[in-house]
């Protein structure tokens, strides 16, 4: 594996973390309110206005929108970019530490989001389980792809 390949994979793992963080920010709220976890579009929890894609970019959208909903001007809690940044860092750092052992890396990510969902669901286990299935699906796809690429590059 060349250093270019390594950097690309590191960036992909970090960005995957950022996107999962953004989704976790949404799921975290919806699980505790038993709201649907898959909707056609993301919406503002205050005014329910559908958010365009460029308002949903992890961390950057919060900065670009100056921490307020563009439609109702309600503040967007700072926990959202912090969760996204935390996920991005965690996925990036864990990739750096464990990329030679992709199964351990995948297991670590599964443990991470399972623990977070359980800690945050406040007894809404049914919704949390639905959220877990969605996270598991995304992670299964991403880690399978990552494993195939790592195997191909190690030859």
Task: Give whichever of 72 and 97 is closer to Zn ion, judged by the CB atom.
Answer: 72
- CB-based contacts of 89, cutoff 8 Å, min separation 6: 14, 17
Tell me how far, at minimum, the Cβ of 27 lies from Zn ion, in Å: 19
- CB-based contacts of 31, cutoff 8 Å, min separation 6: 37, 117, 120, 121, 124, 127, 128, 130, 131
Tell me how far, at minimum, the Cβ of 40 lies from Zn ion, in Å: 17
The Cα 22–Cα 56 span in angstroms is 8
Tell me how far, at minimum, the Cβ of 55 lies from Zn ion, in Å: 10
Instruction: List residues near Zn ion by CB under 5 A.
Output: 44, 46-47, 69, 71-72
Task: Give whichever of 50 and 101 is closer to Zn ion, judged by the CB atom.
Answer: 50
Task: Give whichever of 39 and 46 is closer to Zn ion, judged by the CB atom.
Answer: 46
The DSSP output letter for 70 is: T
3-state secondary structure of 51: coil
Task: Give whichever of 9 and 44 is closer to Zn ion, judged by the CB atom.
Answer: 44
Cα-based torsion angle of the residue sequence 140, 110, 107, 154 in order, rounded to the nearest 10 degrees:
40
Task: Give whichever of 72 and 140 is closer to Zn ion, judged by the CB atom.
Answer: 72
Tell me how far, at minimum, the Cβ of 80 lies from Zn ion, in Å: 13
Tell me how far, at minimum, the Cβ of 22 lies from Zn ion, in Å: 17
The Cα 109–Cα 94 span in angstroms is 9
């Amino acid at each position: 594996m060349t250093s270019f390949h390594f950097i690309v994979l590191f960036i992909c793992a970090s960005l995957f973390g950022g996107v999962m963080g953004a989704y976790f920010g949404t799921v975290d709220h919806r699980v505790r309110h038993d709201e649907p976890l898959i909707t056609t579009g993301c919406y503002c929890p205050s005014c329910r206005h559908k958010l365009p894609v460029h308002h949903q970019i992890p961390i950057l959208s919060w900065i670009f929108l100056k921490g307020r909903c563009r439609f109702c001007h309600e503040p967007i809690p700072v926990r959202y970019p912090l969760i996204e940044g935390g996920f991005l860092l965690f996925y990036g750092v864990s990739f750096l530490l464990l990329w030679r052992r992709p199964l351990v890396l995948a297991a670590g990510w599964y443990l991470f989001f399972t623990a977070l969902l359980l800690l945050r669901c406040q007894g809404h286990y049914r919704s949390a389980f639905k959220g877990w299935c969605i996270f598991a699906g995304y992670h299964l796809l991403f880690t399978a792809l990552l494993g195939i690429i790592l195997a191909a590059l190690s030859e």
